[in-house]
């Protein structure tokens, strides 16, 4: 007699397993429902660009896009600081134009140089294509000079130097005197985005900074 109770108990357990415990949304039986929950869903993994949101199906292609191709990825300048010419008098100065924010923005580079000169270069001031301007480095002697605006920017500055900067040649114009020896400061690639050097009452030393990522 006792074994019938076991059969009954067993039957109740089976009943609950099959029907009562099933929280089926679609009136599925337990096992069907179980199967539908464990079956892998055919969902493709996608990779969105963190800058523009474009969707890619491969992480390799996404990485290439984010590193090299995305127009609005943050711009990374490739800075090259060229050697300087002149002497060691005066105090250090340095100025670099701000960089463009993304690769989609306009490049920012030096597009005008002004200053004062006589037999030597007394002072220098540079202008960036985005409207930024450096301080005037040097003294107040000499006469004003102006390279005029260079639309495509500068890739080199020539001149003469000895203990100080004697002459600057910019945009086919010459400012200063004929002392010292010739020098040529040329970006390997790219454009001039900054200057550095030493100055006091005159321009003692001058070097340039290029961004070789600017075409």
Asked if 56 touches Zn ion (CB under 5 A), the answer is no
Q: Which is nearer to Zn ion, 51 or 156 (CB)?
A: 51
Other beta carbons within 10 angstroms of residue 33's beta carbon come to: 16
3-state class percentages of the chain: helix first, strand second, coil last, to nearest 5:
20, 35, 45
CA–CA separation, 127 and 95 (whole Å): 10
Using the contact rule CB under 5 A, the part of the chain among 47-55, 82-90, 99-107, 199-207 near Zn ion is 47-55
51 scored as a contact of Zn ion (CB under 5 A): yes
Is residue 132 exposed (0-12), middle (13-18) or buried (19+ Cβ within 10 Å)?
A: middle
| 79 touches Zn ion by CB under 5 A | no
Angle at 167 between CA 165 and CA 173, to 5 degrees: 145
Q: Which is nearer to Zn ion, 24 or 52 (CB)?
A: 52
Beta strands in 7-163 (DSSP E): 47-48, 55-56, 79-81, 85-86, 91-96, 110-117, 121-128, 137-138, 143-146, 156-161
**Residue 62 in contact with Zn ion, rule: CB under 5 A:** no
Number of residues forming the site for Zn ion (CB under 5 A): 5
Among 62, 70, 165, 185, binds Zn ion (CB under 5 A): 70
Toward Zn ion, which CB reaches closer, 40 or 53?
A: 53
71, 104 in Cβ contact below 8 A? yes
The answer to whether 156 contacts Zn ion (rule: CB under 5 A) is: no
Q: CA end-to-end span of the chain, whole Å?
A: 96
206 interacts with Zn ion by CB under 5 A: no
Q: Is residue 47 part of the contact set for Zn ion (CB under 5 A)? A: no
Find out whether 134 and 208 touch, Cβ atoms under 8 Å.
no
Closest to Zn ion by CB, 105 or 182: 105
Task: Please choose, out of 9-17, 68-76, 101-109, 161-169, the segment that lies near Zn ion by the rule CB under 5 A.
Answer: 68-76
- Residue whose CB is less far from Zn ion, 104 or 144: 104
The smaller minimum CB distance to Zn ion, of residues 54 and 104, is found at 54
Selected from 22, 28, 52, 79, the binder of Zn ion by CB under 5 A is 52
Name the token pair of 23. Answer: 């929280």
Residues within the interface to Zn ion (CB under 5 A) = 49, 51-52, 54, 70
């Amino acid at each position: 007699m006792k074994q019938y109770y076991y059969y009954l108990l067993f039957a109740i357990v089976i009943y609950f397993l099959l029907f009562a415990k099933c929280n089926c949304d679609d009136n599925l039986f337990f096992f069907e429902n179980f199967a539908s929950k464990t079956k892998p869903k055919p969902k493709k993994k996608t990779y969105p660009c963190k800058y523009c949101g474009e969707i890619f199906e491969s992480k390799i292609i996404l990485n290439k896009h984010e590193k090299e191709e995305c127009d609005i990825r943050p711009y990374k300048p490739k800075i090259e600081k060229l050697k300087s010419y002149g002497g060691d008098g005066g105090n250090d100065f340095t100025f670099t134009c701000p960089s463009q924010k993304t690769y989609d923005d306009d490049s920012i580079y030096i597009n005008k140089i002004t200053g004062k000169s006589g037999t030597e270069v007394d002072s220098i001031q540079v202008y960036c294509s985005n409207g930024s301007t450096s301080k005037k480095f040097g003294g107040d002697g000499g006469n004003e000079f102006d390279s005029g605006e260079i639309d495509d920017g500068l890739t080199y500055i020539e001149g003469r130097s000895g203990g100080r900067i004697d002459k600057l040649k910019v945009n086919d114009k010459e400012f200063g005197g004929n002392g010292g020896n010739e020098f040529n400061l040329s970006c390997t690639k790219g454009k001039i985005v900054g200057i550095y050097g030493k100055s006091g009452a005159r321009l003692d030393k001058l070097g340039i900074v290029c961004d070789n990522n600017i075409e």
